[in-house]
Chain A
Amino acid sequence: MCAEQPPPPDTSRRRAIGFFLGGGVLATLASFLYPVMRYFVPPAVVDLGGDEVVAAKLGDLKPNSGKIFRFGARPGLLILNSDGTYRALSATCTHLGCTVQYRSDLREIWCACHNGTYDLNGRNVSGPPPRPLTVFEVHERGDEIVVSRKREA
């Protein structure tokens, strides 16, 4: 832009303009592009939940045991039955919201807060829980156990 203008009468003024204009262009470009460049960098945490989550690796769980994993905002419970099948449910007790656990001695899901129990299908069997636990879908993908929300038909 500056190249084709006739030379100004006052070089110090010209220098001031050049300083402000050139510095301004560089500084603003830098301050606009820096965030954008940083934005492109993929974050270390790849996923924040949503539809599915890797609950465990194959071999993490012994048969007839359970594990709490994080599913989006809430805890989930992954159970490896003694016959080698996986099962995943919401781990939030439907009574007062405590986190339930798998009881390998009872082969049941148990809430310690008020002694509520659920069977492995999530049905509330005894104690205070008013509703069953939500059951999730479990898939094995490579050596990962992937849990996902059941799709509505």
Chain B
Amino acid sequence: MASLRNNLRPFLAARSAWLAGFIVLAACLGYGQAVNSCLDCHSAQEGRLGVTPEKFSQDIHAQKGLTCTSCHGGDASSYDPAQSMSRKAGWKGKIDRKQIPQLCGSCHSNPALMRTYNPSLRTDQLDQYHTSIHGKRLATGDDKVAVCVDCHSVHDIRPPSDPRSTVNPLNVAKTCSRCHSDAAYMKSYGIPTDQFEKYNISVHHDALAVQGDISAPTCTTCHGNHGAVPPGVDKVQNVCANCHVFQAQMYQKSTHSKAFADKGLPGCVVCHSNHGIHKPSDAMLGTGSAGVCMRCHAPGDHCDRARSNILNNLTMLDQAVNGADQALRRAEAAGMEVSEARLNQDQARDALTKARVSIHGFQADLVDQNVQAGMKIAAANRKAGDDAMVERNRRRIGLGICLIAIAFMLVGLWLYIKKLES
């Protein structure tokens, strides 16, 4: 059906006026109330004016019983363009960009009305929008900024839970990037356009798009959606703390919290950056190119010594865990059963993670505590692996003794047979 319509489209477009007349006739024959004259004509139109019934049927609003006239006004029962698209019938035509938030808000900000569709849906989007950079700029007459339909699409608006929705967590970054990565479009605002590029190599993008963890953050998780504004330099840690609880708690109590605030430095971002957050590594504590501490601290001072202490501790535990892994692998390769120690390695790895988290308190002794706990587990696991190798050697000795006994027996039997048969 769809392909048939597509094939016929040029033909229909060329004769739309003629056809309209014909359809009016058909409409008079009794199809009056059931038809939607908007779609009948607009499905035959090209480009921005084209809306097919297939497209519109995907729209959550269409599914809830709303029609073209709900937003655009006019008379959908009439096939006479003069009537259906008459201002008298309330026809609004193309909605002005500046009016779009108000139009959407006329329903979405009305709790009484929204309750009749989805009682749990929030109704503060418009209010929030007014507080966002987008909303504020729109109010000053800048219509290049995003309005509802720029993010939510138009005529095929799907709920965010739908994977095909432009505002589904997996698609949000792409949606934002349509404007924010367009250097020409963003030129007049003087803000960077590399956020999408950076985000795409970040640990959060990896978690979200590659590992499929839809709880991982995308643009709106930190910036908000309808009220989108950068979180603000001094409030970054509050945003990160939503997921990274321990790190934030320790940071708040640390000396860095106050020092950064005094200097007007953006908390977590100072070391981890913002959009292009890499998976953290111990090298961040080092003095190499990945190191972050020495950007501010002077070599040889008290903090530098604490830093190298912490780094050495973490490296030690990391090596201990890897060493235990190797010992267990060796034992497994020798056919020994060490699955229990293998499982305990998870605890050692947990302890390492915990120790790494605890550096956010910037106190060497705090890290040391966690490292020591991990060292104990790793050492026990390593011992299990080494013990297995000792056990393997013991088995070989036992085997040797047994084989000697068997050899004795064979010699005895052979001599006996020889004697019998001599």
**Chain A complexes with chain B:** yes
Find chain A residues with CB under 8 A from B415 CB.
Answer: 13, 16-17, 20-21
A27 touching B405 in the complex, CB below 8 Å, given contacts A73-B343, A115-B242: yes
What sequence of 0s and 1s flags, for each residue 389-414 of chain B, a beta carbon within 8 Å of any chain A beta carbon?
A: 00000000010011011101111110
A95 to B408, CA, bound (A): 62
Inter-subunit contact A31/B419 (CB<8 Å) = no
Chain B residues near A5: list those with CB within 8 A. 420
For the side of the interface on A, what is the size category? 20 to 34
Contact mask A71-101 → B, CB, 8 Å, 1/0?
0011000000000000000000001101100
Q: Quick check: B405 and A30 within 8 Å, CB to CB?
A: yes
Q: Is B136 interfacial (CB 8 A cutoff)? A: no
Say yes or no for B246: interface residue by CB 8 A criterion.
yes
Establish whether residues B405 and A24, one from each chain, have CB atoms under 8 Å apart when the complex forms. yes
Q: B244 contacts which chain A residues (CB < 8 A)?
A: 114-115
Closest A residue to B406 by beta carbon equals A28
Residue of A nearest to B342 (CB): A73
- Report the minimum CB–CB distance from A2 to chain B (whole Å): 8
Residues on B with beta carbons closer than 8 Å to the beta carbon of A58: none
**Closest CB of chain B to A133's CB: distance in Å?**
16
Q: In the complex, what residues of A have CB within 8 A of residue B350's CB?
A: 98-99
The majority secondary structure among interface residues of chain B is helix
Contact among A27, A74, A112, A113 with B409 in the assembled complex (CB-CB below 8 Å): A27
Cross-chain contact A112 with B245 (CB below 8 angstroms): yes
Known: A128-B216, A130-B215. A27 touches B408 (CB 8 A): yes
CA distance A30 to B365 in the complex (A): 57
B243 at interface, CB cutoff 8 A: yes
Q: Is the pair B412, A24 in contact by a Cβ cutoff of 8 Å?
A: yes
A128 to B213, CA, bound (A): 8
**B216 contacts across to A, CB distance below 8 A:** 128
25 A–B contacts from the bound complex (CB under 8 Å) = A13-B419, A20-B412, A20-B415, A21-B409, A23-B408, A24-B406, A24-B408, A24-B409, A27-B409, A28-B406, A28-B409, A31-B398, A74-B343, A95-B213, A95-B215, A96-B213, A113-B353, A114-B243, A114-B244, A115-B243, A115-B244, A115-B245, A127-B215, A128-B215, A130-B214
Given contacts A14-B419, A28-B406, A128-B243, 16 further A-B contacts (CB under 8 A): A16-B415, A17-B412, A21-B416, A23-B408, A24-B409, A25-B409, A28-B402, A30-B405, A31-B402, A31-B405, A32-B402, A99-B350, A115-B242, A115-B243, A129-B215, A130-B215
